[in-house]
């Protein structure tokens, strides 16, 4: 979990750097600061379990086992990317690892995860679907519809709210009168749990209970992880709407630094091992970046590839 969090952090720092060099088409929403959520949840998932993701989805992909090189290539608009550039930063999918897709439509992953849960139930397997979404998404209609349906049908879904206190520049307390998103779980008759989302072990343990409950066929859980993004909402948003003392307090709670300290304190890692893991994560990101930058852009005619049915298969139908 430590090395995965490092990889996500360095990956996002690299994406930010590349964005500054005008190498990333479109926009970016960085996951830096929120790594413990994706990593702590996905550490409980099997390869054949499903996840749905958001516009802030690079970290979810990496934590679920996506290849760094194809992820970076997709973000940089190269034809070797996961979706051959049909997705870009906000719509990466890899069905082979159960990554059902990220989406730019806030809250749209919630009913999709409920649908994945229904498919699991109909197939009779013990898979689980985990659904990542933000505090802002929890005010969408899809939140109510998706969670209510999953609750009444006891679907194997873990709804993971990444509460980073803001939806773009809108503070959560100005659009919600309950303190915790997880408090809303009682209206669906399911467990609601709030944890420190910058503590990877707290996330891991709470997700473990929720995932196992879902696997046993006992239904969904709403797991809220309180966290904070290191940067603004997207691109160069300077996030001037965030009070300075609030930013400073959260920087002190950085998930990676805290977990590293804990691992050193308990002698699970020593300084040399930490240095080696940091270097290894940086190297992996560099390798993926090199692969992406050396990959060609798609040709214009490829814009319609994988969009329309081939004539032959259309005739067969
Ligand atoms: C349905 C919809 N409404 C509005 C937007 C514009 N928008 C993009 S991200 C965002 C904020 C989402 O906030 P939150 O769910 O808390 O996720 P965070 O960005 O904090 O991770 C909004 C309003 C959108 N993409 N889709
Ligand atoms: Mg938010």
Give the pLDDT of residue 212.
Answer: 98
Residue 309 binned pLDDT confidence (cut-offs 50, 70, 90): confident
Give the pLDDT of residue 308.
Answer: 84
Question: Which residue's CA is the nearest one to ligand 1's atom 19?
Answer: 167
Q: Is 167 a pocket residue for ligand 1 (Cβ < 6 Å)?
A: yes
Q: Is 33 a pocket residue for ligand 1 (Cβ < 6 Å)?
A: no
28, 11 Cβ separation under 8 angstroms: no
Distance CA 74, CA 18 (A): 13
Residue 317 has pLDDT above 60, yes or no: no
Question: Which residue's CA is the nearest one to ligand 1's atom 21?
Answer: 134
**Among the listed residues 194, 184, 204, 260, the one whose alpha carbon sits nearest the alpha carbon of residue 227:** 194
Minimum-distance ligand to the CA of 136? Answer: 1
H-run or E-run covering 61 = helix 58-63
The alpha carbon of 89 and the centre of ligand 2 are apart by a number of angstroms equal to 18
Q: Is 136 a pocket residue for ligand 1 (Cβ < 6 Å)?
A: yes
The overall average pLDDT reported for the chain is: 96
Radius of gyration of the chain (CA): 20
Give the pLDDT of residue 316.
Answer: 63
Distance CA 276, CA 280 (A): 6
Point out the ligand 1 atom lying closest to the alpha carbon of residue 135: 16
Give the pLDDT of residue 125.
Answer: 98
Give the pLDDT of residue 236.
Answer: 78
Least confident span in 62-71, 263-272, 303-312: 303-312
Give the pLDDT of residue 218.
Answer: 98
Summarize pLDDT for 192-219 with one digit per residue, the tens: 999 999 999 999 999 999 999 999 999 9
The alpha carbon of 48 and the centre of ligand 2 are apart by a number of angstroms equal to 28
This prediction has a pTM of 0.97
Give the pLDDT of residue 306.
Answer: 87
Summarize pLDDT for 29-56 with one digit per residue, the tens: 999 999 999 999 999 999 999 999 999 9
Residue 260 has pLDDT above 80, yes or no: yes
Give the pLDDT of residue 148.
Answer: 98
């Amino acid at each position: 979990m430590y090395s995965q969090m490092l990889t996500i952090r360095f990956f996002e720092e690299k994406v930010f750097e590349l964005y500054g060099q005008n190498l990333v088409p479109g926009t970016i929403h960085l996951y830096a600061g929120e790594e413990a959520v994706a990593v702590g949840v996905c550490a409980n998932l099997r390869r054949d379990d499903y996840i749905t993701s958001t516009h802030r989805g690079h970290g979810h992909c990496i934590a679920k086992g996506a290849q760094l090189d194809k992820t970076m290539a997709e973000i940089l608009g190269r034809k070797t990317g996961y979706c051959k550039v049909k997705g870009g930063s906000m719509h990466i999918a890899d069905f082979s690892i159960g990554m059902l897709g990220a989406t730019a439509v806030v809250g749209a992953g919630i009913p999709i995860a409920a649908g994945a849960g229904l498919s699991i139930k109909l197939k009779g397997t013990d898979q689980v679907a985990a659904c990542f979404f933000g505090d802002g998404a929890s005010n969408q209609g899809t939140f109510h519809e998706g969670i209510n349906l999953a609750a009444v049908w006891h679907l194997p879904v873990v709804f993971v709210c990444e509460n980073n206190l803001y939806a773009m520049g809108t503070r959560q307390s100005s659009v919600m009168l309950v303190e915790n998103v997880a408090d809303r779980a009682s209206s669906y008759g399911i467990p609601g749990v709030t944890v420190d989302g910058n503590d990877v072990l707290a996330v891991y343990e709470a997700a473990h209970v929720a995932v196992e409950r879902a696997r046993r066929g006992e239904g969904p859980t709403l797991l809220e992880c309180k966290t904070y993004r290191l940067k603004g909402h997207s691109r160069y948003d300077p996030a001037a709407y965030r009070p300075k003392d609030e930013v400073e307090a959260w920087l002190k709670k950085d998930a990676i630094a805290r977990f590293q300290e804990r691992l050193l304190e308990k002698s699970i890692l020593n300084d040399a091992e930490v240095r080696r893991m940091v270097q290894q994560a940086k190297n992996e990101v560099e390798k993926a970046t090199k692969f992406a930058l050396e990959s060609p852009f798609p040709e214009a005619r490829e814009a319609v590839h994988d969009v329309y049915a081939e004539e032959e298969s259309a005739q067969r139908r």
